Amino acid sequence: MSEPILQVKDLRINFKTFAGVVQAVRGVNFELNAGETLAIVGESGSGKSVTSNALMKLIPEPPGIYESGEIIFNGRDLIPLSDKEMSKVRGNDISMIFQDPMTSLNPTMRVGRQITEVILKHKNISKSDAKKRAIKLLDQVGIPMPEKRYKQFPHEFSGGMRQRVVIAIALAAEPKLLIADEPTTALDVTIQAQILELMKEIQKTSNTSIIFITHDLGVVANVAHRVAVMYAGQIVEYGTVNEIFYNPKHPYTWGLLGSMPDIDSNSDELLRTIPGSPPDLTNPPKGDAFAARNEFALAIDYEKEPPMFQVSETHFAKTWLLHPDAPKIPIPEAVAKRIEGYLGKENVLNGEKTIRN
């Protein structure tokens, strides 16, 4: 296995507010290899965006505080770096695609200049070469007539085309790591499919690592190699995409998978829901943060925080249900049935007996 290009160790981020200190990220650990895509899923307020912004050191201080932890990128910890040093990393080594393509471009600046700006800052090349490269990038992200489009303003582009421009800017300095924070949430499904194909294509040709933040599990299944499920500022389950979708262990992951309607599901039945809402992180609950919404909660969940239990070499889950002494609770029937449905379809397609590990 290749060396990880990014390691995040025990990252904790707090925000000081009038209502008290919000513990937005509470001890997150993960790593990422070159050419790999990690999807971070979770509800709003689960800390997924704070985590990804922290990787670029985009958390404003104050009110944000890097309480503890390390972000080791290419062998160097980013947390102690000064703003000046960070500006050499941002856009060059790590770049970011934001959710809303409508607001992440400068409306008063031609699209071409927004791309060459990045190239000229980070690469030692002439203006005319930067222009050539910008036009090539526009072409690469699938924008027709790139020479003409180069001179246009963002308002002359549609939503999907703008997101392509944002991707071109993010790729301009050939970053090793691309962070995409809900890059397709604001787009239509057909455009979303095109953008996802484009990102996978780019990853194949340039071996870029991608961190993909989303709450759409369909998108996760489409792009990710590994998945981290976040809840209340912590990663509660972590594994390969097949492990998370076909062998989920955490009740929160069961809840997320169960609350998606299935194309074949019977619409007379109600959807499975996760009752209640996420906890207030100014005062995180004692024990397991998910306990109050967990129908399978054990007495210990209200007392003591569960550790990460290892399920396989690559699969971890933070729930007491995996403790050897815990009662054996099977996956809820509706979720199990759905997984079987997917795998069954697969078996028919492959003519295989079983692929479950």
Partner 1 sequence: MAKKLLEIKNLTQYFGSSKEPVKAVDGISFDIYEGETLGLVGESGCGKSTTGRSIIRLYDITDGQIIFNGKDVHSSKSANEMKQFNRQMQMIFQDPYASLNPRMKAGEIISEGFDIHGLYKNKKERREKVESLLEAVGLNREHANRYAHEFSGGQRQRIGIARALSLNPSFIIADEPISALDVSIQAQVVNLLKQLQKEFNLTYLFIAHDLSMVKYISDRIAVMYRGKIVEIGLADDIYHSPVHPYTKSLLSAIPLPDPLSESKRTRISYVHEDLDESASFYEVADKHFVYGTAASVKKWQNA
In the complex, the residues that contact partner 1 under the rule CB under 8 A are: 43-44, 159, 188-194, 196-197, 215-222, 224, 241-242, 245-246, 255-257, 259-263, 265, 267, 270-275, 277, 342-343, 345-346, 349, 355
How many C-beta atoms lie closer than 10 Å to residue 40's C-beta? 28
84 vs 353, beta carbon nearer partner 1: 353
Of 68 and 273, which has the nearer Cβ to partner 1?
Answer: 273
CB of 276 to partner 1, least distance (A): 9
CB 338 to partner 1: min, Å: 8
> Nearest approach, Cβ of 58 to partner 1 (angstroms)?
23
Quick one: three-class SS letters along the chain?
A: CCCEEEEEEEEEEEEEECCEEEEEEEEEEEEEECCCEEEEECCCCCCHHHHHHHHCCCCCCCCEEEEEEEEEECCEECCCCCHHHHHHHECCCEEEECCCCCCCCCCCCCHHHHHHHHHHHHCCCCHHHHHHHHHHHHHHCCCCCHHHHCCCCHHHCCHHHHHHHHHHHHHCCCCCEEEEECCCCCCCHHHHHHHHHHHHHHHHHHCCEEEEEECCHHHHHHHCCEEEEEECCEEEEEEEHHHHHHCCCCHHHHHHHHCCCCCCCCCCCCCCCCCCCCCCCCCCCCCCCCHHHCCCCCHHHHCCCCCCEECCCCCEECCHHHCCCCCCCCCCHHHHHHHHHHHHHHHHHHCCCCCCC
CB of 221 to partner 1, least distance (A): 4
Least CB distance to partner 1 at residue 24 (A): 16
Q: By C-beta, is 261 or 307 nearer to partner 1? A: 261
Work out how close the CB of 337 gets to partner 1 at its nearest, in angstroms, rounded to a whole number.
13
Query: Which candidate, 243, 265, 247, places its Cα nearest to that of 331?
Result: 247
How near is the Cβ of 242 to partner 1 at its closest, in Å? Answer: 6
Nearer to partner 1, 115 or 236 (CB): 236
Using the minimum distance from each CB to partner 1, give the nearer residue, 116 or 222. 222
By beta-carbon proximity to partner 1, the closer residue of 72 and 343 is: 343
CB of 189 to partner 1, least distance (A): 4
Instruction: Compute CA 245 distance to the chain's CA centroid, rounded to the nearest angstrom.
Output: 16
Report the residue number, 69 or 233, with the smaller CB distance to partner 1: 233
Nearer to partner 1, 82 or 267 (CB): 267
Report angle CA 222, 256, 209 to the nearest 5 degrees.
Answer: 35
Nearest CA to 65 out of 15, 9, 25 is that of 15
Number of neighbours of residue 317 by Cβ within 10 angstroms? 25
Kindly tell me which of 1 and 263 has the beta carbon lying closer to partner 1.
Answer: 263
The distance of Cα 192 from the centroid of its chain, to the nearest Å, equals 16
* Closest separation in Å from C-beta 274 to partner 1: 4
